Amino acid sequence: MAKPNASDPMVKHLMPLVGATITSLIVDEGESEHDEPYYGFAFTTKNGKSYECMILADEEGNGPGHLEISK
């Protein structure tokens, strides 16, 4: 795996996750019974700021996506 490039916009976007603590999971069922649920998590950074992170198919939020978790 390559070392992250600090000038990469996506790396900058993800940096708040480094050292953060996941505090809860989020499930957004949508507004109608036909909506697919969206999943995510809330986290708190080392300096105490809180954020929510949703797993989306793309930046526009055109559907739920998948977060691969590997060991």
Give the pLDDT confidence score for residue 61 in this predicted structure. 84
More confident residue, 57 or 24: 24
DSSP result, 34-50 = TSPPEEEEEEE-TTS-E
- Per-residue pLDDT of 37-71, as tens digits, reads 999 999 999 999 999 999 998 888 888 888 887 77
Q: Is the pLDDT of residue 8 over 80?
A: yes
Q: Is the pLDDT of residue 1 over 80?
A: no
Neighbour count for residue 66 (Cβ, 10 Å): 8
Q: Is the pLDDT of residue 35 over 90?
A: no
The pTM score is: 0.76
